[in-house]
Structure 1
Amino acid sequence: MATNEVVLALLRKGPAHGYDLKREHDGWFPDARPLAFGQVYATLGRLEKAGLVEVVETRAEAGPERTVYTLSEQGEHQLREWLAEPAGAATASTDEIVRKTIAALRTGESPADFLARQRAAHLRRMRELTVGAPERDPAARLARDHLVAHLDADLRWLERAAEVIG
């Protein structure tokens, strides 16, 4: 994921400190792995060094000291450029599902057993994502739909793999 650019996008809404950015990120992408606090602060450090964000203030409220960051003019430019570029299509078979299937084939493990377990896991995850009330937030709905579409594509690939290893 383009963590630098996503943090820039989060800051476009206004100045924030790392805790707020982490919480907002996890709200934007509720089905993704939560962003680690260490990753947030490391990213902010890189962005500050690059001149893409600026420190607005450092304050100590009831808890630890918090540094508030804002998007710089250069950061806004970087964000606009990133958003203007189409995301690249997958170009290599480096997904873990592919690697494990190939490893099972090449090492004498049972690829059919792996494929069956993987298929069950994918179906379970799809059910988790599609059961219940639909997401009201269009951005969250789109993120979830993308994840479900990838799971569906993986399931089709798993079926194809099972046919090939037969």
Structure 2
Amino acid sequence: MTTSHVLLGLLSRGQQHGYDLKKAHDAAFPSARPIAAGQVYAALARAEGRGWVRAVAVEREGGPDRTVYEVTPEGREELARWTSTPEAPERLVAHPLATRATVAMLAVGPDAARDLLDRQRVAVVDRMRELTAHKTRPGLSVGELLATDHAIAHLDADVRWLEAAALRVVDLTEELR
């Protein structure tokens, strides 16, 4: 994901200035880290340099000048390309928890690794419960609901991995010796 593409999407709904885009971003993606004003203006400058947006007006409302931007036809084409391109699946070769469990097996023994995996499973299930309750809150944006569903699905996969890993600890310990 690039900030420029997210801003293109927000601008596709109509002309806006940077401050409005920051507010729109933070409202549309409340689960994400709030975007800094500097990020907005830097991304707008990059998008303008690529011909994706253009400044259409400068407004002054009792404060500093505010440049109003709109999406160009080239920007709409780029947005259509970006929104239709699937995200590449993550290629995790090593995972921090797998590394920690392996070190626990090597340094302390299989019981320590199983205990770590069991405690991690409890933490993951607790987080899944929190997110499931969060999904039922009124007023969630579509983006926040989609992000929450995505997180729950990943946590569910983590639970399955944790259960399988706990069953394999003895076998893995023998492989490492």
TM range (shorter): 0.7 to 0.9
Name the residue aligned to 1:130.
132
TM-score using structure 1 length: 0.78
Name the residue aligned to 1:102.
99
Contact 1:25 1:35 in 2 (8 A): yes
TM-score using structure 2 length: 0.74
Residue by residue over 1:107-153, the C-alpha shift from the partner in whole angstroms, topping out at 9 and shown as x without a partner, is 84865565455434433332222115355654543332122111211
User: Which has the higher Rg, Structure 1 or Structure 2?
Assistant: 2
Q: Which runs of 4+ in 1 moved over 4 A?
A: 106-114, 134-139
Residue by residue over 1:52-87, the C-alpha shift from the partner in whole angstroms, topping out at 9 and shown as x without a partner, is 111122223234432221111111110111122222
Q: What are the residue-to-residue correspondences of 1:44-83 with 2, within 5 Å?
A: 44-83=44-83
Q: CA deviation at 1:157?
A: 2.0
Q: How much identity, in percent, do the aligned residues show?
A: 44
* Alignment gaps of 5+ in structure 1: none
- 1:161 pairs with 2:165: yes
Shift in CA distance, 154/53, structure 1 to aligned 2, threshold 3 Å = same
Shift in CA distance, 47/111, structure 1 to aligned 2, threshold 3 Å = farther
Contact 2:101 2:117 in 1 (8 A): no
Contact 1:134 1:141 in 2 (8 A): no
Contact 1:17 1:67 in 2 (8 A): yes
Question: Which amino acid in structure 1 is aligned with residue 133 of structure 2?
Answer: V
Q: CA deviation at 1:4?
A: 2.2
Give the whole-Å Cα distance in 2 for the aligned partners of 1:63 and 1:123.
49
User: What is the alpha-carbon root mean square deviation over aligned residues?
Assistant: 2.8
* Alignment gaps of 5+ in structure 2: 171-177
Give the whole-Å Cα distance in 2 for the aligned partners of 1:118 and 1:2.
32
Shift in CA distance, 163/9, structure 1 to aligned 2, threshold 3 Å = same
